[in-house]
Amino acid sequence: MGRFYFHLSAGNEITLDEEGTELPDLSAAENEAVLATRELLAEAIKSGMPDVPEVLVIADEAGRPLASIPFATVLPRSLKRSLKK
């Protein structure tokens, strides 16, 4: 078990997760990050936010970044294709 932190990055701004979440391992943290990213993106769309964070960064208890989940990667494939056009 370890504590993982999910920081949000948008441009040069980072919103730090001060609490963190206890999870068994990095794989569980990555799964949680994907779910959180989808939820944040859905809420942003529903509320009409013009800007959303670009990346969710997973960090360990020492503050070291372990992995990152770009928000664009959780979009359905058809939307990803239309963004490339």
Q: What is the pLDDT of residues 2-44, one digit of tens each?
A: 999 999 998 889 999 999 999 999 999 999 999 999 999 899 8
Residue 52 in 3-state DSSP? Answer: coil
Token match 């949000």: residue? Answer: 8
Q: Is the pLDDT of residue 51 over 70?
A: yes
pTM: 0.85
Every domain of the chain and the residues it spans = 2-84
85 pLDDT more than 60: no
Which H or E element spans position 83?
A: helix 77-84
List beta partners, residue 10: 13
